[in-house]
Structure 1
Amino acid sequence: MRFLADWVAPRRRQIFIALVWTALLAAASAAYPPIIKYSIDRLITTEGAKLLPFVLMLIVVITMARALFLYLQTVTTNAIVMRLTTDIQKRAFQHLVEADFARMTREAPGQLVSRLTNDVTFIQHAGQAALNTAIRDTLIIVCLVATMFWLDWLMSVVVLFVYPLAAAPIAIIGTRLRKVAKRTQTRLGDMTSMLSEKLAGARLIKTYRLEDYAAQKVNDNFEQVFGLRMKAVRNRARLDPLLEAMGGLAVAGVVGLAYWRIASGEITVGDFAAFLTALMMAAQPIRGLGNLNAKVQEGLAAIERVYQLLDERPVIVSKPDAGPLRVTGGEIVFENVSFAYDGADDTHAVRDFSLTVPGGKTVAFVGRSGAGKTTIINLVPRLFDVTGGRILIDGQALTDVTVESLRDNISIVSQDVTLFDDTIRANIALGRLGA
């Protein structure tokens, strides 16, 4: 329901237009059986030759109209879904870059990339299935079933008795697929992360001749993804034979009943042919509805993962009464500063650190690896918040000024060189956009 309110409801106008095309497509589809009935019952009479051109022209017109409505419905629904998933990606990335630095480093980049790509692709497929199958095929089935009842209510009851028997197995398979989908999406994130890691470490891999080792690690991940995908395939593959069997039972029941009703004169051969046409036309939409649950379950699993990201709120934010940082001399004071990653009290990266750095002076932190040098630097722009003590700039506590003004007054020349996929000019201008 939350997903519908957040993403679907704002697009109700476009969805209404798609529903119009869908309704016209369903109506055009339901027009075929009456034409079949009319053709068989009338064309075998002496006036049949005169009616033939009209019947053929009517079939061509309905076919062209159905093709047009199908095109418009497909383009409209896919435009809705693709715009929706694009907006999800944009919001998710915006949310991610505005998250705490600790959040961004807690999860491997590949996992985050997977949430923005693989998970959203599952949502896209589910959305397309929902609009193109749940709505379109349902309307087509409703129109065809109405036509069946118009032709013969007793044979329609036989059909409606058979197909619901598949509901329980479909629900069970859908539940299994949702569990598999969650594991697959997590494993795809691991795979994306591992690929990024191995490609980024190409220099190390080549230097130490680790090609076979890296390939084996990645291949193991590929095999795990393959196994999960095959498990999903096997579950989905159970649906088509099930629906095929239900269709066979329905046709057998209709043919047997029709023989008796035609022999008794209750229906004509045209009625039976039209009814069988409607039943055959409904078979594909019914099969689509049977497979719909599988795609929807995969999409629901992906939606859960996306909302796990969107529901996270940054901890490092400006207080309501925070003011802008006013730099005068540029003095930085560390007062009994302590910090532990993830709030772990027993593993402090920095403990009771005090230092005064006068403005305009250069200070070097020297120490062994892991002593907390980089951590101290990261505390100044509030990439992390201290867990004890406080940091002041010109007498102003970092927590008393806005995060935006604090970072606007800080420049960092990192030992890690980062070049974004842009022009040289754009990379240079990143330090002051719009300069």
Structure 2
Amino acid sequence: MGKRPVKKLSTLFQLIQFMRPYRRYWLGAMVALLLTAAITLSIGQGVKGVIDNGFIAGSTEQLNQSILLLIAMSILMAAGTFIRFYLVSWLGERITADIRQAVFDNIINLHISYFETNRSGEIMSRLTTDTTLLQSIIGSSFSLALRSTVTTSGALIMLFITNVKLSLIIMAGVPLILLPVLLFGRRVRVLARKSQDSIADVGSYAGEAIQHIKTVQSYHQQTYESRSFAAQVDNAFTIARQRISQRALLMAVVILLVFGALSSMLWVGGHDVINGVMTGGDLGAFVFYALIVAMGAGTLSEVYGELQRAVGATERLMELLHAENEILPPQTVQDITPLKARLSLENVTFNYPSRPDQSALSDFTLDIPEGKITALVGPSGAGKTTVFELLLRFYDPSKGQVCFDSADLRQLDPQQLRQQMALVAQQPALFTANVMDNIRYGKPDASEAEVIAAAKAAHAHDFILQLPDQYQSDLGEQGVRLSGGQKQRITIARAILNNPRILLLDEATSALDTESEHAIKMALDNLMQDRTTVIIAHRLSTILHADQIAVLDQGKVVALGKHAELLKTSALYARLATLQFQEH
């Protein structure tokens, strides 16, 4: 998924762009971080005072003062830590929310063909799992990395101030520590990306099975789906185990090297104290700073793996954010308002991106007059749905042009174009919301009275009143709480409320029983008056009174006329009619 690879440095730079609007919060977090780091480093001098002035000098007063100083520094450090943790965690939540919104805003406007080649489950995983991971890392791991970097750097400086010889022993181990961090870190980053992809596969598979749960259970395929899902889970676990083992090995190697250097330093320092070269307080302070360096190095090695996961997650999100929409308005947009609601396809050839070698339409020409009813009939795969998708400019033709009046659709703003049309699909599309919101989707600013009027026109008002909360009744996911006919009437009410100039009906009555079908036909007859209407008809009885019927076969118009004419002039139409009407 994603056609253009995003480089690591570029990815991190783009992540920083989302941080820029919150400079004040970052500044506050940095001030708190520096304060706590300074106090942490000062504690080392407090330890030195406790040992030299308290224990060794035997002064109770100086011991009490040193302890009180340590307590005061601890209180300040606790306050600074609270501020730093709150601000960084807030930033993690806020930046992640901004990224999630930006990615969704880009996805929702992408061309339809993008979703042919990219699974919805994969996209959802990036929007949810990857952003959640990013939030955790920015709000926690990134904060730890900053704190460890600052305190470790400061502790190294204090080491040299306290004792140069011992510091050189510590520094000799730094290259040995950095080498495994760089070596294992690269592997962790690759495995982190694979791990996120495998988790996306798991979510995508589960989502598809749940979405088609009725089919799964009706064919008694629960065992098969469970085994297939287990294979996906095991694959994700295997990749995660490899990533964890690399991180665990990295941490173990770093800890071994750090504490090896620390042990060497203690051995040399212990001899210096015994020989009077340095005081016990200096050694105590030095050990304190060395422990900070050791813990900091250990934390950095652990967090480094998390940051590599952040890079992988960010790469996946940035691929979505920078996916380009191929259906865009031109630089100079032609106003659609004065144009007539007449449509035409002129010598159109079109191949779906997922099937580049197979033409859905070939040298296709059809004129759709304003205010008339045009029906499209033909066998499955003839190109009927493709015509709708080109009229809505979900795709652009490979050759030829699709026109709204005299204007090529590519000269119009896609949003303005689609505002002129209302689509009633064969499979009703409802959202997880109540009845009112689902109908109002066609006109968000419509009043309640307008919604009810549209429902009455679609003959949906009566069954809506029988729902538990009437127009406020929640319909469940994809309208699962309604029958097929009820769903279709809701979508027809949505189209009626939209009051378009052009209607696109994909066998709008196909999901209805006989009684509902008759009522809907009456509503559609009223709705279609003085509107340009294009109907995909699977049942010829629904289009007997169409102004023109286009017979499609293998992506071409093979006949055009009215019902009675086509029975005589088109063998294909006559055969379709015979098959459908012979029982009657």
Q: Which has the larger radius of gyration?
A: 2
| Structure with a larger share of its residues in strand | 2
Q: Given the alignment, which residue of 112, 119, 123 partners 1:108? A: 119
Q: Distance in 2 between matches of 1:366 and 1:205?
A: 32
Q: Given the alignment, which residue of 116, 127, 135 partners 1:124? A: 135
- What does the per-residue CA deviation read over 1:348-396, in whole Å, with 9 as the maximum and x for residues that have no partner? 0111222222223223322222222111111111011112222223333
What is the match of residue 195 of structure 1? 206
What is the match of residue 268 of structure 1? 279
What is the match of residue 225 of structure 2? 214
Q: 1:186 is aligned with what amino acid?
A: D
Matched, 1:431 2:474: no
Q: Distance in 2 between matches of 1:297 and 1:143?
A: 25
What is the match of residue 171 of structure 1? 182
Task: For residue 328 of structure 2, give the secondary structure of its aligned residue in structure 1.
Answer: coil
Q: Report the RMSD for the aligned CA atoms in angstroms.
A: 2.0
Aligned pairs for 1:207-286 within 5 A: 207-286=218-297
Task: For residue 303 of structure 1, give the secondary structure of its aligned residue in structure 2.
Answer: helix
Q: Distance in 2 between matches of 1:142 and 1:398?
A: 62
What is the match of residue 412 of structure 1? 423
Q: 1:244 is aligned with what amino acid?
A: I
**Conserved 8 A contact 2:53-2:63:** no
- What does the per-residue CA deviation read over 1:162-215, in whole Å, with 9 as the maximum and x for residues that have no partner? 233121111111111111122122222222211111000001011110101111
- What does the per-residue CA deviation read over 1:261-319, in whole Å, with 9 as the maximum and x for residues that have no partner? 11221211121122212222332222111123212222222222222222222111111
With over 3 angstroms needed to count, the CA separation of the structure-2 counterparts of 1:45 and 1:290, relative to structure 1, is closer
What is the match of residue 306 of structure 2? 295
With over 3 angstroms needed to count, the CA separation of the structure-2 counterparts of 1:35 and 1:186, relative to structure 1, is same
Deviation at 1:129, TM superposition (A): 5.6
With over 3 angstroms needed to count, the CA separation of the structure-2 counterparts of 1:162 and 1:39, relative to structure 1, is same
Q: Distance in 1 between matches of 2:237 and 2:354?
A: 38
Q: Given the alignment, which residue of 3, 28, 49 partners 2:14? A: 3
Deviation at 1:429, TM superposition (A): 0.9
Deviation at 1:145, TM superposition (A): 2.1
Aligned pairs for 1:303-342 within 5 A: 303-326=314-337, 330-342=341-353
What is the match of residue 39 of structure 1? 50
**Conserved 8 A contact 1:171-1:293:** no
Matched, 1:28 2:34: no
Deviation at 1:34, TM superposition (A): 1.1
Task: For residue 402 of structure 2, give the secondary structure of its aligned residue in structure 1.
Answer: strand
Matched, 1:16 2:27: yes
Q: 2:197 is aligned with what amino acid?
A: T
What is the match of residue 186 of structure 1? 197
Q: Mean alpha-carbon deviation: is it higher for 73-82 or for 7-16?
A: 7-16
Higher RCO (CA 8 Å, separation ≥ 6 residues): 1
Deviation at 1:47, TM superposition (A): 5.6
Gaps of 5+ in 2: 1-9, 447-584
With over 3 angstroms needed to count, the CA separation of the structure-2 counterparts of 1:241 and 1:36, relative to structure 1, is same
What is the match of residue 149 of structure 1? 160
**Conserved 8 A contact 2:130-2:317:** yes
What is the match of residue 75 of structure 1? 86
What is the match of residue 63 of structure 1? 74
What is the match of residue 355 of structure 1? 366
| Structure with a larger share of its residues in helix | 1
With over 3 angstroms needed to count, the CA separation of the structure-2 counterparts of 1:126 and 1:164, relative to structure 1, is farther
Give the TM-score taking structure 1 as reference length. 0.94
Matched, 1:162 2:173: yes
Give the TM-score taking structure 2 as reference length. 0.71
What is the match of residue 411 of structure 2? 400
Task: For residue 181 of structure 1, give the secondary structure of its aligned residue in structure 2.
Answer: helix
Deviation at 1:328, TM superposition (A): 6.0
Task: For residue 86 of structure 1, give the secondary structure of its aligned residue in structure 2.
Answer: helix
Q: Distance in 2 between matches of 1:163 and 1:420?
A: 58
Task: For residue 417 of structure 2, give the secondary structure of its aligned residue in structure 1.
Answer: helix
Q: Distance in 2 between matches of 1:327 and 1:413?
A: 25
Number of equivalences: 435
Task: For residue 422 of structure 2, give the secondary structure of its aligned residue in structure 1.
Answer: coil
Q: Distance in 1 between matches of 2:244 and 2:175?
A: 23
Q: 2:88 is aligned with what amino acid?
A: T
Q: Mean alpha-carbon deviation: is it higher for 239-248 or for 43-52?
A: 43-52
What is the match of residue 369 of structure 1? 380
Q: Given the alignment, which residue of 137, 144, 148 partners 1:133? A: 144
**Conserved 8 A contact 1:322-1:400:** yes
Identity, % of aligned pairs? 24
Q: Mean alpha-carbon deviation: is it higher for 38-47 or for 22-31?
A: 38-47
